[in-house]
Amino acid sequence: MTRRAVARGIGHYLPERIVPNSEFESFLDTSDEWIRTRSGIERRHFAAEGQSTSDLATEAARAALEHAELDVGDIDGIIVATSTPDLTFPSVGTMVQSKLGMTHGFAFDVQAVCAGFIYALGTANALIVAGQAERLLVIGAETFSRIMDWQDRSTCVLFGDGAGALVLEAATGDGTNADRGILATDLHSDGRYREMLYVDGGVSTTGTSGKLRMQGNLLFRQAVEKLTQTADAALAKIGLTGADVDWIVPHQANSRIIAGTAKKMNVPMDRVILTVQDHGNTSAASIPLALSVGVGDGRIKRGDLILSEAIGGGLAWGAVALRW
């Protein structure tokens, strides 16, 4: 028998404020058509004043626990993937722990920008497979609206706020690809590409949070290549290919990147969960948000093979193969 990290519940939360593309036309040289054509984005959600990343993460966690039919007392630990924490420290994870009323176990953050949820899944899988935890809350949560340069039309129209959460629990399988749970992970990073996507501030340099900076054209080319490679590598570890995948649930950065990656994997777009049009790029939150939408509307069903991949600042990228 093989110990697996199996999905038990999923949930998400989006702030109430919806920002359509047209709202940017009042202060930027841009248009709804320009944004849609280049990104596929039609609208996004922005957190309210005073609403923090931990607030979003906590609501998503509650939704996931409800879907899993579990109480916070059933959870051993919390892992939060975020690049927009409430404070430099303590972690968002411990803040979510407190807001849920959880006084046992552990909580911490993972920071790999848009690849954060993939890294968090890899970490959670390792903890569960090693027997260090039985059930974990894995959360991706961001308030990227707090680090936007509102004069940079090439970046500020792309991002949104939100959170998604997944409950993983230990279960035993036969050690085959038919097992439910995480079947393979593939993680990478290369710091030489830092200038392609970064924030120009930090505690030990400027003492400020800084603003997001991106070299979009260069990042686009790196993204399609590296996402395809990591997706194929994760599947190859278990002897599978894109033809075996029921659903690709990718990082929702740009519809053209998503379509380009799916094409290289020979997976039709009708087997891709696409939410970027409604949420924008929510960084580490985008994959669990899309997972939650796909499960909620009935497309993703028990036993489906899911492939998720993401790339973010660092550059950091990776993929996870998961049987739902």
Q: Which of 21, 125, 254, 281 is catalytic?
A: 281
156 catalytic per annotation: no
188 catalytic per annotation: no
Q: Which of 45, 67, 251, 279 is catalytic?
A: 251
State how far the Cα of 92 lies from the Cα of 248, in Å rounded to an integer: 28
Q: Which of 114, 125, 156, 279 is catalytic?
A: 114
How many residues make up the chain in this entry? 324
Residue appearing with tokens 């047209």: 22
Q: Are 9 and 64 in contact (CB under 8 A)?
A: yes
Distances (CA, A) of 252 to 5, 7, 10, 52: 24, 21, 17, 21
Structure tokens at 225: 């290549």
114 catalytic per annotation: yes
Tell me the longest C-alpha to C-alpha distance in the chain. Answer: 60
Q: Are 222 and 281 in contact (CB under 8 A)?
A: no
Tell me the catalytic residues: 114, 251, 281
